[in-house]
């Protein structure tokens, strides 16, 4: 298992890719894929449309099922801890 420079709930800045220079919060780390799931702050409606939605099955947590927004996932090397 690798050790990463970020951990859950850290504030980070994305340094490359489609979400470059965006501030985000780490929601989860996916060690098998070396990726982090981010919650990007300050998304506009156009940015939300880029992310898209996905469908979920009915469950106790979501009795009607339906559509939910996707999260941003980027490689762990493409984020830096935000200096405070």
Q: What is the pLDDT of residues 26-73, one digit of tens each?
A: 999 999 999 999 998 888 888 888 877 888 899 998 898 888 888 889
Q: How far is residue 54's CA from residue 32's CA, in Å, rounded to a whole number?
A: 22
- Strands of the sheet containing 35-40, edge to edge, are 72-75, 35-40, 23-30, 11-14, 79-81
Q: How far is residue 17's CA from residue 71's CA, in Å, rounded to a whole number?
A: 15
Q: How far is residue 60's CA from residue 64's CA, in Å, rounded to a whole number?
A: 9
Q: What is the pTM of this model?
A: 0.78
Neighbours of 64 (CB within 10 A): 7
Helix (H) or strand (E) holding 40: strand 35-40
Q: What is the pLDDT of residue 84?
A: 66
pLDDT digits (tens, 9 = 90+) for 74-84: 999 999 998 76
Q: What is the pLDDT of residue 52?
A: 77
Q: What is the pLDDT of residue 1?
A: 61
Whether the pLDDT of residue 18 is over 80: the answer is yes
What structural domains and CATH numbers belong to the chain?
Answer: 11-81 (2.30.30.30)
């Amino acid at each position: 298992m690798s050790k990463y420079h970020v951990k859950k709930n850290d504030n980070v800045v994305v340094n490359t890719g489609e979400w470059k220079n965006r501030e985000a919060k780490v929601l989860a780390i996916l060690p098998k894929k070396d990726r982090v799931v981010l919650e990007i702050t300050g998304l506009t409606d156009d940015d939300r449309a880029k992310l898209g939605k996905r469908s979920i099955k009915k469950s106790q947590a979501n009795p009607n099922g339906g559509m939910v927004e996707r999260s941003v996932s980027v490689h762990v090397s493409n984020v830096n801890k935000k200096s405070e």
